Amino acid sequence: MLDLEKALVFAENWAVKVGNIQQKKLKENKFKVSTKSTETDLVTEVDLLSEKMIRAEIKQRFPEHNILGEEIEYEDQKSDYTWVIDPLDGTNNYANSYPIYAVSIALRDKCDYLLGVIYLPELDQLYSVIRGQGSFNKQQPLKVTDKIALNQALIATGFPYDKDSSQLDNLAPFNKLLKKLRGIRRSGSAAFDLTAVAAGKIDAYWEFKLSEWDYAAGELLVREAGGEVFKTSLDDNLLLIAGNKNLVRQIKSTINDIYNFS
């Protein structure tokens, strides 16, 4: 039987260790940057270094587990357990020395997410969660907001890397929701936004075309903080909405009016 509390401590230590190295290298400003799928989809040598470090730690402690990460090929050990890691969420921010980026690590079995950790190096904020035990920021319990009206809500979103060519560029939902909201924020990091929802600093969040490593730890944080996470597929692309059930329902309805996914 896997000891989730011990596994969480390991993941917390890995995230902080890697985050500290990221912060140090950012201050030195000596790292290479290249592109992946588009000119706006960046990867740095720090992304790769961070993922290699986390993978090495996982292999040492849990050599039989699968590993799914953003930068390196999936390692399938035929295990019931899979670690899902985004070694540096917010690479575009990082490459421009914009101080919003995160290390995200989650563990799931065949059915559910079991634990998650998100570390924000520039804020020295460590978010942790075990399924069924609540979400925490350094031992302080988290709770999503209870706002029920969009015109009172501060909501976060993001845009896909292929926004110049994709029909799911998020512009139509953005324009429609913007007029209904108190305000919109765009951090550039899904992990950061989901911690903000779980902590009640942002009322809700939606985004298209996320990958599992973008949201795995954050989804569990939001759910264990009393929130709801809605996911659906549009033309094989994910739409994720997170927040309290009232705001999720209203955002879902507004976007559904455009794309008719229900």
Instruction: Give 132-160 pLDDT, tens digit per residue.
Output: 999 999 999 999 999 999 999 999 999 99
**Mind listing the pLDDT tens digit for each residue in 149-195?**
999 999 999 999 888 878 899 999 999 999 999 999 999 999 999 99
> Is-contact 208 190, C-beta < 8 A?
no
Residues 6+ apart with CB under 8 A from 245: 227, 228
Q: What is the mean predicted confidence (pLDDT) over 121-128?
A: 98
Distance CA 88, CA 101 (A): 7
Q: How many CB atoms lie within 10 A of CB 218?
A: 35
Burial of 25 (0-12, 13-18, 19+ CB in 10 A): middle
Residue 9: predicted pLDDT? 98
Residue 200: predicted pLDDT? 98
Cα-based distances in Å from 53 to 61, 62, 104: 13, 14, 13
Helix, strand or coil for residue 239?
Answer: strand
- Is 80 exceeded by the pLDDT of residue 42? no
**Mind listing the pLDDT tens digit for each residue in 220-238?**
999 999 999 999 999 899 9
- Is 90 exceeded by the pLDDT of residue 30? no
Residue 86: predicted pLDDT? 98
> Is-contact 49 57, C-beta < 8 A?
no
Residue 38's pLDDT band, with cuts at 50, 70 and 90, is: confident
- Strand duo 113-120 + 125-130: pairing: antiparallel
**251, 252, 253, 258 alpha-carbon torsion, rounded to 10°:** 100
- Is 90 exceeded by the pLDDT of residue 11? yes
- Is 80 exceeded by the pLDDT of residue 262? no
Taking all residues of the chain, what is their mean pLDDT, rounded to a whole number? Answer: 95
Residue 199: predicted pLDDT? 98
- Is 80 exceeded by the pLDDT of residue 39? no
Strands (E), 55-199: 66-69, 82-89, 102-108, 113-120, 125-130, 135-137, 140-141, 154-157, 183-185
Residue 37's pLDDT band, with cuts at 50, 70 and 90, is: confident
Higher pLDDT, 34 or 50: 50
Residue 235: predicted pLDDT? 87
> Is-contact 168 122, C-beta < 8 A?
no
How distant is the alpha carbon of residue 260 from its chain centre? 26
Amino acid at 123: L
Residue 164: predicted pLDDT? 80
* CA dihedral for 21, 26, 27, 30, sign (positive or negative): positive
Tokens standing for residue 229: 């996470």
- Is 80 exceeded by the pLDDT of residue 107? yes
- Is 80 exceeded by the pLDDT of residue 40? no
Residue 35's pLDDT band, with cuts at 50, 70 and 90, is: confident
Helix, strand or coil for residue 42?
Answer: strand
- Is 90 exceeded by the pLDDT of residue 218? yes
Residue 151: predicted pLDDT? 97
Q: What is the mean predicted confidence (pLDDT) over 238-253?
A: 98
Residue 34: predicted pLDDT? 83
How distant is the alpha carbon of residue 186 from its chain centre? 13
